[in-house]
Structure 1
Amino acid sequence: MIRTIARCGTRAGASRAWRALVLVLPGLWVLTVVLWEILFPTEAQLIQLLAAAPAIACAGTGRRSRVMLGGLCAVFALVPIGSAGRDESIGTRCGTFAAILAVVIASHLTAGRRARLQRELESARAVADAAQAVVLRPLPPRLDGLALAAGQLSASRGAAVGGDLYEVMATAHGVRAVMGDVRGHGLAAVGTVAALLGSFRDAAHDEAEFADVLRRLERALGRHLRERSRHEHPAASGTDPQSPIAEDFVTVLLLEIRDSGEVRALNCGHPWPYLLSPGRAEPFAQAEPLPPLGLFPLPAELPSTDCGQLLPGEALFLYTDGAEDARDGTGRFFPLPVALAEAAKTRPVEPRNVLRDVFANLQRHTAGSASDDIAMLVIRNDRPALRAPSGTGGCDTGGSAAGARQAAMNPQSTNNL
């Protein structure tokens, strides 16, 4: 599974160039001051600016060795050179030396504290990555005859998990998958993501009826929001307080993929998936979804949507609306169907390649600054193909995906296991 998305190569190259410049910046500062004193001697003595060299090293790299090297360069630059050196008194140079020494000591201590804070930050990030891996755990590359690939891009800088969620489970009732989008993004939505994923992982196995899985998610969301409200508004005592949390909601798409490839769905305000076949991307269902969870209670009857059959070699592309709503500098939306058609070129469709290409196009489109969390999940059917008996209109492997779908849906077809 793709957990983090690398930034564009041009941004990585610019970052390396900046780090190289920071390393040599103290030396360049000393050289510039000395050359200016030699080539353009003035009454204003600029040699005192040498004291800034160790401070520049501390601000740039934070390494104590670089601070000492910057101070050493500044001290050597105090040696009288040319007419500028002869015009300056010993007292002036001693004062400059004292200033350099003071800045070196202060910068050295600051660099040490910065190094300790950096180690603590790295340790905290390691703990956060472990916790995030538990919340949005990696998916296996294959599950019950299906090939999987998933990726997530958080809009919060430095976070690997935001307000999007996904999971795929192999159960006695078929493979069940969920894709959701919590209102808002970033670390504030992680608690809701954890509550819903924990409920789904239990309900997917426990509930034989597909609709009951969605009802379990609704109850889990309600409990989580009530507990969060009481925690943030303790003055409300035992009653449910009025707070902005009451307006939180989650869009959810549940899929159930049976052994035959038949797909059923329950959709609460989430974008419908795309069906991917080599060189093509088309909507997989067009039914009217239910309202998002949290806005209104679920109706008494929850009929699932029969989406048809996922044929061998075909794939489903599930996503959150951050992918379609991503804009470039001119306000143009990201052309997701076009990007999917370009990414689904191989036969069969390769899930990891689809994610890689779509995420790369998204990064280029938004210049690496997504305004919302984005999650994607690709599920490809690798189960044995359906074949019609001789004399009937079987699947034409060289024909279109539509022709193969029509042949596979033929009542005379049999499942060749």
Structure 2
Amino acid sequence: MGRLAPALWVAGVMLWECSLPEGTHVLALLAATPALACAGSAGRSGIWVGGACALLALYPLGLCPGDQQFGGRAATTAAILCVAMASCYAVRRRTRLADELASTREVATAAQQALIRPLPPRIEGFTLAGAYLSAARCAAVGGDLYDVAATAHGVRVVIGDVRGHGLGAVSTVAAVLGAFREAAHDESELAQVLRRLERALDRHLNCRGLSAPGKGAPGPAQVPVASASAAADGYDDADEEFVTVLLLEVRADGSVTVLNCGHPWPYRLSQERDGAPVVEPVAEGEPLPPLGLLPLPPGPPRPLRLQLPPGETLFLYTDGAEDARDRSGEFFPLPEVLRAAVTERTRAVPPIPAAPAEVVGRVRHELLGHTRTRLPDDVALLALRNDRCRVHGQAQGPGRERVAVRLPCSCREPSAVGGGGQL
């Protein structure tokens, strides 16, 4: 439609000119034809074609230089040529800026994927899915973080939320994720991974001039730097920056160790023997303070231990999912959306556990619809399902009875997959 705009404009002006009484003219409006071609994303050739159409309409057959309207039409001709040349310059500049923008987006995409790396669909017998929604427009990262690493100590997962959101918190996200990707492989104890994250965050905040209580205040020479950095990130000088973190270690037998530093507890998605979906929060124990807000206790933190039987899913998220509101001020009903996502698959015969990608996709879709894509805070979503085969006599934890579920083909007997199924 944009490419037809110049022709429609010329035709409209000519019809208007013919309908006006004698002595009234609107042919000067033809000078806008090249500008319309430029606005319609036409190239320089399209601009000159539009200008030529305007000139042909301006000088119909039979007009001679002695006509009394010739002087006015000559001025209109000059205006058409000037607008055409200006439009060509604008198209050239727009093309150059578009190329620069495309190059910048490629660099930004590579940087974003290096920071928040895409999750593999399966890792060590567990199925994964994640999604990231940034509150900053045209950005794929912000103040939330997550990552999963397969280590010699088990599958280790981190999800966190930096105080604030948007691009101002990206540097803190990079510091925490960088420390996790090293410590997850180096440290045999999950508590030591958490302390490595705390030390990395402390170094990062000290470099920026921000400091948590009891961890030392910046020197006089650091105060101007802190003020500039805090102002750039949208914080006041008196504000403190901290990170809520949830660390998980999942073993091959389904045992899960959890350390929580002020982060929302995950949800467990499963089903009962009668096929009824179960969506229950894992909310046992008092969480530790967020990293950077207060020092960790000197002794080893007491982790939460639970069991994730085959077919069950852990759903991790940041508080932006629960705090999102619609225009009427209603909070996003996260438990109801999770229950609906699980219910759709449990209606099958036999019941099938909801795939992590389906759960994450459903929550993401409903969240964007609830807020109409206007998120007040960054949101990170992550789902992890145990797809390993159940071992005879495997414990499921006290008071927990679950139905046997149909697992993916990778968990069937080797004979069913040609004698080479990998667990």
Matched residue, 1:34: 14
Please state how far the C-alpha of 1:29 moved relative to its aligned partner: 2.8
Which deviates more from structure 2 when the two are superposed, residues 294-303 or residues 73-82? 73-82
Matched residue, 1:364: 369
Counterpart selection for 2:243 from 232, 235, 250? 250
Query: In 1, are the aligned partners of 2:135 and 2:165 still within 8 Å (CA)?
Result: yes
Query: In 1, are the aligned partners of 2:44 and 2:88 still within 8 Å (CA)?
Result: yes
> Structure 2 CA distance, aligned partners of 1:286 and 1:76?
81
Query: In 1, are the aligned partners of 2:209 and 2:222 still within 8 Å (CA)?
Result: no
Give the 5 Å matches for 1:201-280. Answer: 201-229=181-209, 236-237=220-221, 243=227, 244=230, 247-278=240-271, 279-280=277-278
User: Which secondary structure does the structure 2 equivalent of 1:22 belong to?
Assistant: coil
Please state how far the C-alpha of 1:66 moved relative to its aligned partner: 3.3
Query: In 1, are the aligned partners of 2:158 and 2:247 still within 8 Å (CA)?
Result: yes
Matched residue, 1:314: 312
Please state how far the C-alpha of 1:274 moved relative to its aligned partner: 0.8
Relative distance call for 1:184 and 1:172 in structure 2 (3 A) is same
Query: In 2, are the aligned partners of 1:250 and 1:293 still within 8 Å (CA)?
Result: yes
TM-score (norm 1): 0.82
Relative distance call for 1:104 and 1:308 in structure 2 (3 A) is same
TM-score (norm 2): 0.80
Matched residue, 2:409: none
Relative distance call for 1:163 and 1:44 in structure 2 (3 A) is farther
Please state how far the C-alpha of 1:292 moved relative to its aligned partner: 1.6
> Structure 2 CA distance, aligned partners of 1:292 and 1:405?
37
> Structure 1 CA distance, aligned partners of 2:18 and 2:61?
7
Which deviates more from structure 2 when the two are superposed, residues 217-226 or residues 57-66? 57-66
Counterpart selection for 2:101 from 112, 121, 136? 121
Counterpart selection for 1:379 from 359, 380, 384? 384
Verify: 1:353 aligned to 2:358, yes or no: yes
Counterpart selection for 2:295 from 294, 297, 303? 297
> Structure 2 CA distance, aligned partners of 1:181 and 1:42?
72
Please state how far the C-alpha of 1:73 moved relative to its aligned partner: 2.9
> Structure 2 CA distance, aligned partners of 1:41 and 1:307?
89
Please state how far the C-alpha of 1:164 moved relative to its aligned partner: 1.1
* Letter of the 2:203 counterpart: R
Question: Alpha-carbon deviations, 1:35-84, whole Å to 9, x = none?
Answer: 222224475532212212222332342633332333233223213499xx
Unmatched runs of 5 consecutive residues or more in structure 2: 211-217, 272-276, 346-351, 405-422
Relative distance call for 1:185 and 1:103 in structure 2 (3 A) is same
Q: How many positions carry a matched residue from both structures? A: 373
Q: Percent identity between the aligned chains? A: 55
Which deviates more from structure 2 when the two are superposed, residues 198-207 or residues 57-66? 57-66
User: Which secondary structure does the structure 2 equivalent of 1:77 belong to?
Assistant: helix
> Structure 1 CA distance, aligned partners of 2:156 and 2:403?
22
> Structure 1 CA distance, aligned partners of 2:403 and 2:162?
34
Relative distance call for 1:126 and 1:403 in structure 2 (3 A) is same
> Structure 1 CA distance, aligned partners of 2:376 and 2:53?
45
Which deviates more from structure 2 when the two are superposed, residues 43-52 or residues 112-121? 43-52
> Structure 2 CA distance, aligned partners of 1:221 and 1:62?
51
Matched residue, 2:336: 338
Which deviates more from structure 2 when the two are superposed, residues 297-306 or residues 165-174? 297-306
User: Which secondary structure does the structure 1 equivalent of 2:129 belong to?
Assistant: strand
Give the 5 Å matches for 1:155-174. Answer: 155-174=135-154
| Aligned-residue RMSD, C-alpha | 2.9
> Structure 2 CA distance, aligned partners of 1:187 and 1:255?
26
Query: In 1, are the aligned partners of 2:285 and 2:304 still within 8 Å (CA)?
Result: no
> Structure 1 CA distance, aligned partners of 2:383 and 2:52?
57
> Structure 2 CA distance, aligned partners of 1:273 and 1:42?
79
User: Which secondary structure does the structure 2 equivalent of 1:181 belong to?
Assistant: strand
* Letter of the 1:334 counterpart: F
> Structure 1 CA distance, aligned partners of 2:224 and 2:156?
33
Verify: 1:63 aligned to 2:63, yes or no: no
* Letter of the 2:159 counterpart: M
Matched residue, 1:323: 321
> Structure 2 CA distance, aligned partners of 1:210 and 1:240?
37
